[in-house]
Structure 1
């Protein structure tokens, strides 16, 4: 389930590490339904995201839409009782659809996952993008094309879903209106409370560490952490030439609203060239360069710190 969620969340994610505050603002809803829930994984859960920050959460156990920090500390951003009722209604439709798909494939005994994702974005106070799509067991299932407008099946079972959802034309009109009007309107309203939070710029802290196992090349690791937003450029150079990373490169949440990333490069035992880690981030006035030097007294692994060049 997790790889699918991560791939879906990249749809409206930042692409350029040097983005400024003119980047789009996005509101995204991510739904997950399980045919066989287990402890810690309810049958249905929904999370709303403002940009890449989780805004509120709902699941089939508590059945309440609850704001997450820091939005839980803001007054008047949403009528949470009304939002809870809306999510309950969406849960029922969502889980009925999952059952319909399982009935089509005659697989009521297996464990299956149904996921939905929809949202919109604003750029300079104007709607600049919207989407609505679903996946079944990690594969594309159906998506809404607001230009036609119609639901486009991407799986054999989705033909039945399309017929059911389009049985009354008003539902197609509502989906189109939601993406083009209601969702951007909600996002605009949320931004009245959240723009300062979403525009925050936290520069990365950077550390360089080295490790050398007996008889092997030295390994250099450059770690950037505590930065926001998530877009970042991070790479090693050898004598000024960019090097491919042996591992790392992903940008991961730190758990405190910021992100971390790292890149690793191998250095042959007799190599005396200059290695440096280069960091680019929208919070930095200029790129940061952190040099690594082979200090004799350094132990197998040590934090060499960071220094702008």
Structure 2
């Protein structure tokens, strides 16, 4: 990593949920999330950082442990990150990030309980730089973001003008642009030498249907697709040869084992015996997975 201006060097690589995942088109992302809390609850850290490759968390650091540690399958990977050096780096960045939170609170003239979050990352597609982002939020509201085209820090609320002036006075703009467009993609490529097996895998979904009758009048059929990766998936219902329109569906966050779950509801009369079929389309499947409800379940 090259030397950068003092303030922003301390923020790089630890700040970003994340860039879209599309390994089928050779797209990969590196992103980081910062969270700082001015008055954390008892026993909770005041600062946390999580790193992501695509949607997979691979790094965690917090102010209580003061240790950067690998997550998930990266616990078994040797050589990708020097964790001792990374821990020291994150401790330094923690100090700068929390000072920024105090600065922002000062701009608002408020000493209460406040939260500052940072999101940072880049994406490459077909091994070439594609896009990047760097954005902060204060108490859940967008605060400031970096625009690589201008380039400049863009205030997203009036008080953020103070931060823009401070950072740009420190000479951060060109170094930030260089990092986002050159150094971050370079680091991502180095991580991919160790990480492609985890990011390119195809875990096929399993599927099941449950039935629930409400007040004896209506029936809800729920089709659930589980344990699949990557995330993009399509579920739809049919009755005979006709597609049944539905409006209620959802996706669950990525699980501890690194897979997803998705579901879609179909509502009908309680006496309706179907049959209805749920179709599941996923990149891991040569043909759609079909499960059928025939009124006996």
TM-score, normalised to structure 1, is 0.86
Do the aligned residues in 2 keep the contact of 1:279 with 1:287 (CA within 8 Å)? yes
Could you say what secondary structure the match of 1:172 adopts?
Answer: helix
The match for 1:69 is 72
Cα separation, 1, equivalents of 2:132 and 2:43: 31
Could you say what secondary structure the match of 2:96 adopts?
Answer: helix
Cα separation, 1, equivalents of 2:107 and 2:238: 54
Q: 1:22 aligns with which of 20, 25, 30?
A: 25
Do the aligned residues in 2 keep the contact of 1:234 with 1:249 (CA within 8 Å)? no
Deviation at 1:23, TM superposition (A): 4.1
Do the aligned residues in 2 keep the contact of 1:119 with 1:183 (CA within 8 Å)? yes
Matches within 5 A, 1:120-269: 120-169=122-171, 171-239=172-240, 240-246=242-248, 248-269=249-270
Could you say what secondary structure the match of 1:70 adopts?
Answer: helix
1:112-170 Cα distance to aligned partner (Å, 9 max, x none): 1110001011111111111111111111110001121110110111100011111132x
Do the aligned residues in 1 keep the contact of 2:235 with 2:264 (CA within 8 Å)? yes
Structure 2, gaps ≥5 residues long: 1-15
Cα separation, 2, equivalents of 1:267 and 1:25: 42
For this pair of structures, how many residues does the alignment match? Answer: 281
Could you say what secondary structure the match of 1:64 adopts?
Answer: coil
1:67-108 Cα distance to aligned partner (Å, 9 max, x none): 112112111111112212221222122111111111121210
Structure 1, gaps ≥5 residues long: 1-7, 299-309
Bigger Cα displacement from structure 2, 141-150 vs 32-41: 32-41
Deviation at 1:214, TM superposition (A): 4.4
Could you say what secondary structure the match of 1:208 adopts?
Answer: strand
1:241-293 Cα distance to aligned partner (Å, 9 max, x none): 232244x4123223211111112221213435432212111111122222211
Cα separation, 2, equivalents of 1:179 and 1:31: 17
Tell me if 1:277 matches 2:278: yes
Cα separation, 2, equivalents of 1:106 and 1:70: 44
Cα separation, 2, equivalents of 1:215 and 1:149: 62
Do the aligned residues in 2 keep the contact of 1:28 with 1:120 (CA within 8 Å)? yes
Do the aligned residues in 1 keep the contact of 2:274 with 2:294 (CA within 8 Å)? no
Alpha carbon RMSD of aligned pairs, Å? Answer: 1.7
Do the aligned residues in 1 keep the contact of 2:23 with 2:199 (CA within 8 Å)? no
The match for 2:4 is none
The match for 1:302 is none
Do the aligned residues in 1 keep the contact of 2:275 with 2:295 (CA within 8 Å)? no
